[in-house]
Amino acid sequence: MNRILVIDDDRELCTLIRRTVSQEDIAADCCYSGRAGLEKLKENEYQLVILDVMMPGFDGFETLAQIRKESGVPVLMFTAKNDSSSKVRGLRNGADDYLTKPFVMEELLARIVSLIRRYTRFNPNGSDAKTLSYDGLMIDLDARSVTTENGTFELLPKEFDVLLHCAKNQGRILTKRQIYEEVWGEAYVYGDSNIMAVISRLRKKLEADPKNPKYIQTVKGVGYRFNKEV
């Protein structure tokens, strides 16, 4: 059974979330402070963390920073209405998705199921699949090649690494800094054009219409995201 951790000081909302996710055979543990949530994460394995930004004491951003020091578990953050700065800050610091309060429980449930499915698919402790398949694109991890409607071909090393990193984080917004430091393995220099050049080449090789990319999409002002719909 999949298990999620809800970190939110709204006890009624936590109870409602626990009841809702049980419909999809998902168990939920609830903690009402950031510090309590971090301790709970040490005790159990979770497929998703739901984290509220506005909490007294140890807030959501501080909690997220500590989670990301130890774990790659998906994190969905709750933000206040019209608080765009919190959304951007959360995504830049490692959140995978956000939902604005108040929200419809059906939408929350759909996001939870999607994030768990993605995490289970790409969790390195999970299956040992050698290929990743999407709509019109297959990535062969052993041969370091890709297959599209135009045939099978190899990519340049950094092209393949950027594509694979984005695909393994499907649906998650990645900043240029995050991509660069993961793929190049060194500190990111603001204004570096390497990533833009690599993604431009990838689009020309993989996309039917590079100006309207199907796979690696631009998230204006933040970074890039591998389309979660493919």
pLDDT of residue 126: 43
Residues 87-99 pLDDT 10s: 777 877 778 788 8
Give the CA-trace dihedral at 88, 93, 97, 99, to 10 degrees. -50
- Of 71, 74, 6, which is closest to residue 37 (Cα–Cα)? 6
Residues 116-158 pLDDT 10s: 876 665 554 444 457 788 888 898 887 888 998 888 888 888 8
Please give the class, per CATH, of domain 131-226.
Answer: mainly alpha
Residues 33-53 pLDDT 10s: 999 999 999 998 899 999 999
Give the largest CA-CA distance in the chain.
55
| DSSP letters for 129-169 | -SEEEETTEEEETTTTEEEETTEEEE--HHHHHHHHHHHHT
User: What tokens does 104 get?
Assistant: 């419809």
- Which fold is adopted by the domain 2-122? Rossmann fold (3.40.50)
Domains of the chain by residue range: 2-122, 131-226
Q: Which conformational region is residue 89 in: left (phi greater than 0), alpha (psi within -120 to 50 degrees), or beta?
A: alpha
